Chain A
Amino acid sequence: MTGANTFSVSGYGPERAGWTRIFARDSLARRLDWPILLSGLALSGIGSLLVYSATRNRTEINQGDPYYFLLRHLMNTGIGLALMIGVVWVGHRTLRTAVPMLYGASVFLILMVLTPLGSTVNGAHSWIVLGGGFSLQPSEFVKITIILGMAMMLAARVDAGDKKYPDHRTVLQSLGIASVPILIVLLMPDLGSVMVMVVIILGVLLASGASNRWIFGLIGTGALGALAVWQLHILDDYQIARFAAFANPSLDPAGVGYNTNQARIAIGSGGLTGSGLFHGSQTTGQFVPEQQTDFVFTVAGEELGFLGAGLIVVLLGVVLWRACRIARDSTELYGTIVAAGIVAWFAFQAFENIGMTLGIMPVTGLPLPFVSYGGSSMFAVWIAVGLLQSIRSQRPMSA
């Protein structure tokens, strides 16, 4: 059982052999947060069924292979799990030293998107096509590096015991770290990701204990920024149209409002128990666009009904609840901030994604964590889970 070594983190607990070591009182397996892991796996499992249901008949995109998306989704989940294990193995503290490098790499990647190497999908110029059917969406990884970068800056003095709270200068520096990639993403423009990043900053600052002035200042700036974006016509027509359709879905049921309308019809028609997996007429009829990615929740709503869709919300709730616990239980501010940033990220992205299919949020191109098809998003989410696991496993066990 040499493989067990991969799970052991040096310096933690006495050396034991085999399974006993894994399940020993202070072992890694015991320290892992199983609810998060199992909920995440369950969500990705449900996701693969939904992705399969949404794509098995779409010959125009699945290249004639009904399992094309299913296999890729499973593979993405597997890679994601491997990344999680890697993160746990390395440990978030070790990673902390590499944050400047990771941050630099992620900013370099999103800069690449702005060069001719980038390509446009659904109006957002936020992809790098790698060839062989693979493509990368660097803004997903930027979400992680913003959290890590800000956490490193904000927690440095506090964890060293110099200060009780991060001072203004530190906050300003951390905001500077966050604003560089945000501005680049805004240029793509990938409005959904920008919104997520702003919420992440809010979560990070909240958890860091930064002065209330910064919190309200950020909220105020966010509102002003939204106004400016609106007034200065930074938005593309398609983005304005999406918001208009959100305000009034009956505006143009065949055009802009089509997505929201069809999504709501799909979910609403599911009723309590749904039409059964693979039996949804809206899904089979491909009435909802982007159904394997941004609108994957509609498949659950239609085919699995209130029970199935509700289960997804509950599982997301388990992940977020545990992540909040991890934030609260972390011994260092660094861990707290990272966990809180991840909570803000997952919570907002899940709320925005499900909310837009339910017609209570405007349509933006954000995937549903764990569930939606998409490699970059899946990898980033599982890396974040790895960070959470690492924060939890490296805190001392409660007595």
Chain B
Amino acid sequence: MTNIPETGRTPRVQIRLVVIQILVLSLLGTLGGRLWYLQIREGAAYAKEASGNHVQQVVQPAPRGSILDARGVAIADNETRLVVSASRTDLLKMKDDGKAVLTKLAGVLGMKPEDVILKVRLCDAKTPKPCWNGSPYQPIPITDEATAKQALQIRERAEDFPGITAEPEAVRRYAAPGNANTAQVLGYLSPVTDDEIQKAQNTDSPYLRSDQVGRSGLERQYDKELRGKAGVTRYEVDNLGRVIGKAQADAAEPGANLVTSIDSRVQRIAEYELDTAMKTARQQFDKITGENYKADSGAVVVMEAKTGRVVAMASAPTYDPNVWVGGISGKDYAKLTGKKSDYPLINRAIQGQSAPGSTFKVVSTAAAVEAGYVWDGGYPCTSSYSVGGQVFKNFEGESFGPISLGRALEVSCDTVFYGLADREWKKDGGINPKKGQPKDYFYKAAHQFGLGKETGIDLPNEVTGRVPDRTWKADYWKANKNAWCKSGKKDGSYVEKIAYENCLEGNKMREGDSINYSIGQGDTLVTPIQEAVIYGALANGGTMYQPSIGKAVVSGDGKTVREIKPKSVGRLPVNKATVKGMGEALAGVVTRGTAAWKFNGWPQDKIQLHAKTGTAEVYGKQTTSWLATYSKDYTVIMTIAQAGTGSGASGEAVRNIYSALYGVQADGSIDTKQALLPTPQKGLPKVRTDGTIVSPKVSDDPAADLRKMEEKGDTPPDENQPAGTATNPTATNRDTRRRPRRRGSRRMPT
């Protein structure tokens, strides 16, 4: 050991040691660089990820708002039920994917194990119902009708039921006050899908995984308002989910309540009367087809004439909206949507469309006035109208001689309208109109009456109906000419002949088209709600209102009330005198015209009713019946498919609805105490300081009350027993009730 720093190191070793030193330094430098990259450059992003990591959100779902009728009676609200749910994530962790647990659960709940297992599978394109179409991370409800005992069994033996919960939860209830189920208007809810969550992520009303979303009707239209805002409490948690940090909470905002213009009592009457009318029609014999009427579907709308607010809207066939609550079963779903179902989900008041028949004549009358035809001119009402070898007959071949437009409307004289429409068609240039624009008064009027487009009612998926004007004909021909030209034969069957003609000149407005159109036959389609707007406008002097059901949105705490004001969307293209003239004519329909036989003894001097009946021909089916009516306050439209004539099928039903509204007794006297709604409901139900809404008591079944009320009176049996015992509208029967009348009222109602 010397004192000289002699290392005895060879250069090779020295160099290698320096290399090691440099290597070590560069390794450390790498670490420092990476550390800088993670902490300084990307630090903010990682900090964000870390905060998302350790924060757990606990969501308190907001109670969905109620849907109330005009008086504050809940028609959709919530009730607490014991819901048993299964967590898919937990089940999938088990060796058998949770089959054993589900089987055990089925035993406790008294269900079939297969049913339970089917309920927790996820929906996809190939999976039929039942399946879960909500988020896979959300507990899947197995049943919402667990008894307290079942829930207790599950909760006390939690270790036997991993992944299964039994909790009281607020579930939707469609209360059907007074037996009014209002199904299609209310709509229904179903769990939110992943797509919807994605889409709504950055909007002002994002969805929660556990959310139920309105799928149709008011539930869908007012979904945002009804849903409210879920409360979120944020906890800092550790990796096992144990709370380690303080909570930050946003309280839940309960959904707003929707006050509607529906009166559940009137709604019940409307539903009952529609149902009864359809049952009755099925016992009537149809001379044309040689079998009883099928009366397979129908709708009725009761609307305030001066505001457009819908008091009642019923569609048949119907269903119980409560089947949706807690997840619909496969059987129920098939019943509602399958090919064999009668599609009860369709709200036929806004989604059912058919030719309007003679109820369209108010449009034709207005068009005639617009085209310059004087009201009191003598227009020949002949028994038939011939054009180029084709004979258009008056209904049952009646003739009234020269009559005024009003009279033509009252007696529903087809040939008058044929003549007018034909003259206009010729004026417009016939089959090949002049270069200058054809006037098309009759088609323009239909558009001005709001046909061929949505009324804008606050319900989703309204249909537009159709005005078969020149544009439509050209478009339709373009779309179908290939098929027509292929199948058409000049001397073939009826269908083949039509196809042949259509192939040749289907793009043109033919004389026969215009003639048919003038009395509401042919390709014209209208919905009951469109008719309600038109006849409501006639009742109020000509203003068309956008029909509405929502009347006010009342916040959950009751502090803010957003009223939904009636909205005028235009005026009928008629002057006051014409409205008055049409009003008189339509009143005449009730007193001496086509509807008179059903309004025998109606106190017309006190409550003036106006009506127009319609019978629309549908190729290959029985005729569609229409009855469009109005008083000074209300318009009531009823239509039943495959049920014969308007007055025959719906006369009594509509009369009963008016009787209930105004308290008209069977003997024609008026009992204001019995009247449900002698004047339209004004104002909103009272909101209490706690946000709840005062609601009156509703009798169990207003329709039964109405029957009792009528039974008390001394009336002919065919009037007060609307159900099975109702009279057949046969000629003999009608004759016995014939009132003194002027010529014309003998006609079958059209």
The answer to whether A209 and B27 have CB atoms under 8 Å apart is no
Please pick, from B5, B10, B12, B30, the residue contacting A396 in the complex, using a CB distance under 8 A: B5
Q: Which residues of A contact B32 (CB under 8 A)?
A: 310, 313
Please pick, from B1, B5, B8, B43, the residue contacting A398 in the complex, using a CB distance under 8 A: B5
B1-45 interface mask toward A, CB cutoff 8 Å, 1 = contact, 0 = none? Answer: 111111111101110111111011101101110111011101111
Decide yes or no: A321 and B46 within 8 Å by CB, A285-B54, A287-B54, A351-B27 being known contacts: no
Stretch at the interface among B124-132, B232-240, B286-294: B232-240
Give A331 to B9 CA distance when docked, in angstroms: 8
Give A341 to B45 CA distance when docked, in angstroms: 40
Q: Which residues of A contact B17 (CB under 8 A)?
A: 206-207, 324, 327-328, 336, 340
Interface residues of B in 665-686 (CB under 8 A from A): none
Q: Does B731 sit within 8 A of A, measured CB to CB? A: no
Interface residues of A in 339-360 (CB under 8 A from B): 340, 343-344, 347-348, 350-351, 354-355, 358-360
Q: Does A114 sit within 8 A of B, measured CB to CB? A: no
The answer to whether A336 and B39 have CB atoms under 8 Å apart is no
Q: Which residues of B contact A106 (CB under 8 A)?
A: none
Give A266 to B35 CA distance when docked, in angstroms: 12
The answer to whether B240 and A328 have CB atoms under 8 Å apart is no
The answer to whether B19 and A306 have CB atoms under 8 Å apart is no
Stretch at the interface among A79-87, A124-132, A268-276, A378-386: A268-276
Q: Does A320 sit within 8 A of B, measured CB to CB? A: yes
Decide yes or no: A267 and B27 within 8 Å by CB, A285-B237, A328-B14 being known contacts: no
The answer to whether B35 and A306 have CB atoms under 8 Å apart is yes
Please pick, from A286, A310, A340, the residue contacting B238 in the complex, using a CB distance under 8 A: A286
Give A219 to B112 CA distance when docked, in angstroms: 67
A363-377 interface mask toward B, CB cutoff 8 Å, 1 = contact, 0 = none? Answer: 000000000000000
The answer to whether A316 and B5 have CB atoms under 8 Å apart is no
Please pick, from A164, A271, A327, A359, the residue contacting B47 in the complex, using a CB distance under 8 A: A271
Decide yes or no: A317 and B28 within 8 Å by CB, A287-B54, A287-B239 being known contacts: yes
Q: Which residues of A contact B6 (CB under 8 A)?
A: 331
The answer to whether B42 and A268 have CB atoms under 8 Å apart is yes
The answer to whether B50 and A396 have CB atoms under 8 Å apart is no
Name the CB-closest residue of A to B22.
A324
Instruction: Determine the main DSSP class of B at the interface with A.
Output: helix
Please pick, from B8, B14, B240, the residue contacting A331 in the complex, using a CB distance under 8 A: B8
Q: Which residues of B contact A302 (CB under 8 A)?
A: 50
Please pick, from A262, A268, A351, A354, the residue contacting B43 in the complex, using a CB distance under 8 A: A268
Q: Does A47 sit within 8 A of B, measured CB to CB? A: no
Please pick, from A165, A267, A320, A350, the residue contacting B46 in the complex, using a CB distance under 8 A: A267
Please pick, from B10, B34, B43, B236, the residue contacting A360 in the complex, using a CB distance under 8 A: B34
The answer to whether B239 and A399 have CB atoms under 8 Å apart is no
Give A351 to B238 CA distance when docked, in angstroms: 29
Decide yes or no: A358 and B38 within 8 Å by CB, A285-B53, A321-B21, A396-B1 being known contacts: yes
The answer to whether A324 and B21 have CB atoms under 8 Å apart is yes
Please pick, from B8, B36, B39, the residue contacting A332 in the complex, using a CB distance under 8 A: B8
Q: Does A309 sit within 8 A of B, measured CB to CB? A: yes
Give A313 to B10 CA distance when docked, in angstroms: 32
The answer to whether A301 and B35 have CB atoms under 8 Å apart is yes
Q: Which residues of B contact A398 (CB under 8 A)?
A: 5
Q: Report the minimal beta-carbon distance from A76 to chain B, rounded to whole angstroms.
A: 24
Q: Does A137 sit within 8 A of B, measured CB to CB? A: no
Q: Which residues of A contact B19 (CB under 8 A)?
A: 206
The answer to whether B53 and A265 have CB atoms under 8 Å apart is yes
Q: Does A179 sit within 8 A of B, measured CB to CB? A: no
Q: Which residues of B contact A121 (CB under 8 A)?
A: none
Q: Does A44 sit within 8 A of B, measured CB to CB? A: no
Q: Does B244 sit within 8 A of A, measured CB to CB? A: yes
Decide yes or no: A209 and B20 within 8 Å by CB, A281-B54, A282-B50, A287-B238 being known contacts: no
Q: Does A333 sit within 8 A of B, measured CB to CB? A: yes
Interface residues of A in 28-64 (CB under 8 A from B): 57
Q: Does B51 sit within 8 A of A, measured CB to CB? A: yes
The answer to whether B238 and A285 have CB atoms under 8 Å apart is yes
The answer to whether A316 and B39 have CB atoms under 8 Å apart is no
Q: Which residues of B contact A317 (CB under 8 A)?
A: 25, 28
Give A348 to B20 CA distance when docked, in angstroms: 11
Q: Provide 28 A-B residue pairs closer than 8 Å at the C-beta atoms, listed in order of the A residue.
A: A209-B16, A265-B50, A267-B38, A268-B46, A268-B47, A269-B51, A271-B44, A281-B53, A281-B236, A284-B54, A285-B236, A285-B237, A306-B39, A316-B28, A320-B28, A321-B21, A327-B17, A328-B7, A328-B9, A328-B14, A340-B17, A343-B20, A343-B24, A347-B28, A358-B38, A396-B1, A396-B2, A397-B3
The list of the 5 closest CB pairs from A to B, nearest first, reads A268-B46, A269-B50, A285-B238, A271-B43, A269-B47
Enumerate chain B interface residues (CB-CB to A < 8 A): 1-10, 12-14, 16-21, 23-25, 27-28, 30-32, 34-36, 38-40, 42-47, 49-51, 53-54, 236-240, 244-245
Given A347-B24, A355-B31, 6 extra CB contacts under 8 A:
A286-B239, A305-B39, A310-B32, A321-B24, A350-B31, A359-B38
Enumerate chain A interface residues (CB-CB to B < 8 A): 57, 164-165, 203, 206-209, 262, 264-272, 281-282, 284-287, 301-302, 305-306, 309-310, 313, 316-317, 320-321, 324, 327-333, 336, 340, 343-344, 347-348, 350-351, 354-355, 358-360, 396-399
